[in-house]
Amino acid sequence: MSIASKIAELKAALPSSVELVAVSKTYPPSAIMEAYEAGQRTFGENRPQELVAKYRELPGDIRWHLIGGLQTNKVKYVAPFVTMIHSGESAKLLEVIHKEALKNGRVIDVLLEIHIAREESKHGWQEDELLDYLAAGVYRELTGVRFRGVMGVATFTDDMECVRAEFTRLSALFARLRTEFFDDRFDTLSMGMTADYPVAIECGSTMVRIGSYIFGARG
C-alpha cells in the first residue's frame, strides 16, 4: 500500500478526537511529501538536526513535533519553529525551553514525558518526582512554556495487557495533573505507536505517533 493510502486509512480509522502525528524520522523528504500530498500536516522527528534540515527543505505549513530525547544545548535549534515538544522530561530542560522560546518571542507547546515502561533505558519523569516538581510551583514562572499534556512510551512487548496497564496509569496521571495543577488547556495525552495505538486509543489517547505503519520499516 502507498504512503497516501496508509494516511487515508488511518484518518478514516482514528476517532476525530485523536490527532495523528506522522513520525518521519529517518525517512527522506520525498516520503514526507507523499504524506503531505495526502493531506497530512503534522510530522514527528526525534533528532533536532534532522528536524531542522527537513524544516528548511519542506513546506512552511507543516507542524513539526519533536518527539525524542532533547539535550539542553540543542533546544536553540528548534525553538524558532517547533510546534510541540513531546519530551519535556526534566526541570532543567523545561527551563531552557522557556528561555529559548522567549528569545524567539514564542510560547512553545510542551508535553511532560512520563516514564511508564519497564525498560530503564526509556526516558521521562518518575511520577513522584514530577508531582514534587509541580507542587514546588516553579513551573508557573516558565512563561515561554505552554504545558499541554503528557507523553509516554509503553514497554516494547507483545503483552498487550502490560501495555494497557501502562497506558491506563498514564491516562489517570494526565487527568490528575489537569485538575491539580493545570486546566482545560492541558488537553493532550500523547500515547500510542504503530505496535500499540489501538490499545492507546481505548485508554484515552488524544494523539498517536505513528511511523513505520505509514512509511514502512526503518532500516
Ligand X SMILES: *Cc1c(COP(=O)(O)O)cnc(C)c1O
Residue ranges binding ligand X (CB under 6 A): 23, 25, 46, 67-68, 153, 193-195, 209-213
End-to-end CA distance of the chain: 18
108, β-bridge pairs? 145
Residues 6+ apart with CB under 8 A from 160: 196, 199
The least distance separating ligand X from the CB of residue 201, rounded to whole angstroms, comes to: 14
Q: Which is nearer to ligand X, 83 or 104 (CB)?
A: 83
Q: How far is the CB of 2 from ligand X (least distance, A)?
A: 17
Q: Which helix (H) or strand (E) holds 120?
A: none
Considering beta carbons, is residue 83 or 194 the nearer one to ligand X?
194
Name the residue nearer to ligand X (CB basis): 97 or 210. 210
Q: Which of 76, 90, 84 is nearest to 108 (CA)?
A: 84
Q: CA 181 to CA 149: how far, in whole Å?
A: 11
Give residue 193's identity as a one-letter amino acid code: M
Smallest distance from ligand X to CB 43, Å: 11
Strands (E), 29-122: 42-45, 63-66, 84-88, 108-114
Smallest separation, CB 90 to ligand X (Å): 16
For ligand X, give the closer residue by CB, 71 or 179.
Answer: 71
Task: Give the 3-state secondary structure of residue 116.
Answer: coil
66 or 134: CB nearest ligand X: 66
What is the closest distance, in whole angstroms, from the C-beta atom of residue 136 to ligand X in the complex? 27
CB-closest chain residue to ligand X: 211
The whole-angstrom separation of Cα 190 and Cα 23 is 13
